[in-house]
Amino acid sequence: MLKTIQKNIYFYLTACLLIGYANLANAVLAPDFALNNTPIAKQLSDLKGRVVYLDFWASWCGPCRKSFPWMNNLQTKYKKDGLVVLAINLDKEVHLAQAFLRDNPALFEISYDPEGNVALAYQLKGMPSSYIINQTGEIAYSHAGFTPKKAQQYEQEITTLLFQ
């Protein structure tokens, strides 16, 4: 019986170790890019040392309307803990983004990518798409789409990075 327990413990610890190494091996440095229209930094890499919730959105995106109040709350709640919420608009015409922002004000940083170069570097899979970047500049989590049901999971991922 004792040998079985020892084998199970050994198996469990080995699995944990391998998973940990796999996660380290899969860590991907977030593609750097210039930020425009933001007073906090000139480029994403300037934010190293902080957790960044990077969100890609467009004026025509329905779920984006639901995510903005949540991102406002996140920025207010965790700014003092080192969180930066940064939203990248993908509209080709800035006036469409500005109209969206009149109806859905942002308490976080907005940058623009009308040519889609940053979106291409991040290989977006849906709209909105978000990336949670850790303090060392690596993408820790990524998500396509937004629903209020997923908000708690996203916040947990953020707080795990902020308070680890």
Task: For residue range 83-111, list pLDDT tens digits in order.
Answer: 999 999 999 999 999 999 999 999 999 99
For 91, which DSSP code? Answer: -
User: pLDDT band at 39, cuts 50/70/90?
Assistant: confident
Q: Which two tokens stand for residue 10?
A: 């050994």
| CATH architecture of residue range(s) 29-162 | 3-Layer(aba) Sandwich (3.40)
Q: Give the contacts of 120 (CB within 8 A, at least 6 positions apart).
A: none
| Long-range contact set of residues 122-129: C-beta below 8 Å, sequence gap at least 24 | 122/31, 122/54, 122/56, 124/56, 127/56, 127/57, 127/58, 127/61, 127/63, 127/64, 127/90, 128/55, 128/56, 128/57, 128/58, 128/61, 128/63, 128/64, 128/67, 129/55, 129/56
Note whether 112 and 88 are within 8 A (CB): yes
- What's residue 147's pLDDT? 92
**20 pLDDT higher than 60:** no
Section 138-150 average pLDDT: 95
Nearest CA to 67 out of 77, 78, 79, 56 is that of: 56
Q: Tell me the whole-structure pTM to 2 decimals.
A: 0.82
Note whether 35 and 86 are within 8 A (CB): yes
Question: What are phi and psi for residue 147, nearest 5 degrees?
Answer: -135, 150
pLDDT tens-digit map of 113-132: 999 999 999 999 899 999 99
- What's residue 57's pLDDT? 98
Note whether 50 and 125 are within 8 A (CB): no
User: pLDDT band at 14, cuts 50/70/90?
Assistant: very low
